[in-house]
Amino acid sequence: MRLALRRGILLLVVSVALSGCTTPGVSLPFSEPAAAVVDGHSISMKVYQARLQVSRHRDPFNGIPEAIPSPTPAQRLEDFTIEQLVREEIVRQEADKRGITVADQAVQARMAALRSKAGTSTFNAALSRNGFTAESFSDYQRTLLTEVALMRAMAGDRARTAAGELKSGATFASVAARWSDDTGTFARGGDAGWLRPAEIPEPPLMTAVESLTTGAVSGIVPTNRGFSIATVLERRNDQVHLAVILVLAPSIDLSSPQGTPAWFTKFVEDRESALRRDGKIVLKVGSRAGG
């Protein structure tokens, strides 16, 4: 998926930490140069240059051949960088529409946790080695936290819709086929096979399943992977034949390109396409500048 690949290329391992850098795309003073304008909101040249520095240190195209070669490697990095920032600005705007903001304290706590896990010297060395400053890395953590919060809010909406369909009489299998993001089970109507409750990796779901009678359907169960709805098809001894609907919304520490649900990727890409069609994305850097 194009969107997931873009974000995935910029992931930096600091112990198990994600990384990158950007500043949330707020409207900037008129006098400050802009690298792009997205639906009336500027992405500053300062932000663009900071992200470009990261791209240069961690060339995302190193070893990846192009189907149509770019005129220069430098232009390729410029295009990649501004496109990533445009995508992040779209996410920020959609989060803002829902009233989602990330407090400074949350960003500081995230930074402190990553630094503690890696060790201060290792953490600082990794940032420097990959072209980051403490400020730019902090800004990217805000961006990532915002995206995870938006994804979770949208996933909650999807889970509530699925639960509503079940209450209206739709079969569990049909709802799972329509709404579940679990690629291993949705085509089987959510059928996860026979399990012991202790084998269910998410403790909240395990607890919910233990209290379900045969044929009963749980409510929406939040976990660190998203939102689950479960039903017990059969029971025997200490095992349950389980079916599950999973709407992905991974926690910040589980967030990854592979964990980004397809519906979220499509939502952002569709929004970007609509803005471009309406002339509401104006690039001032890269090969598509002015277009």
What pLDDT is recorded for position 244?
96
DSSP 249: -
Query: Domain of 185: which CATH number?
Result: 3.10.50.40
Enter the tokens of residue 275: 């803005």
132-169 pLDDT tens trace: 998 899 998 999 999 999 999 999 999 999 999 999 99
Question: Are 117 and 7 in a shared domain?
Answer: yes
Question: Are 21 and 121 in a shared domain?
Answer: yes
Question: Are 194 and 82 in a shared domain?
Answer: no
Query: What is the C-alpha separation between 119 and 140, in angstroms, rounded?
Result: 20
Question: Are 262 and 126 in a shared domain?
Answer: yes
152 Cβ neighbours under 8 A, 6+ residues apart = 226, 249
What pLDDT is recorded for position 14?
36
Question: Are 147 and 48 in a shared domain?
Answer: yes
Gyration radius from the chain CA atoms: 22
Looking at the chain, list the stretches that DSSP marks H as alpha helix, in order from N- to C-terminal side: 2-9, 45-57, 73-97, 104-118, 120-129, 134-167, 172-179, 203-210, 262-277
Residue 242: give the domain boundaries. 169-248
Q: Which residue has the tokens 């397809």?
A: 262
Q: By the 8 A CB rule, do 88 and 25 touch?
A: yes
The candidate with the shortest Cα–Cα distance to 141, out of 116, 112, 107, 114, is 107
What pLDDT is recorded for position 56?
86
What pLDDT is recorded for position 179?
97
Q: What are phi and psi of 246, to 5 degrees?
A: -120, 120
AA identity, residue 91: V
Question: Are 20 and 88 in a shared domain?
Answer: yes
pTM: 0.83
**Ranges of residues in the chain whose predicted pLDDT is under 70:** 1-31, 59-72, 257-258, 291
Number of domains in the chain: 2
Q: Report how far Cα 60 is from the mean position of its chain's Cα atoms.
A: 19
- Flag whether 291 is in a domain: no
DSSP 257: G
Q: Which residue has the tokens 């240069």?
A: 56
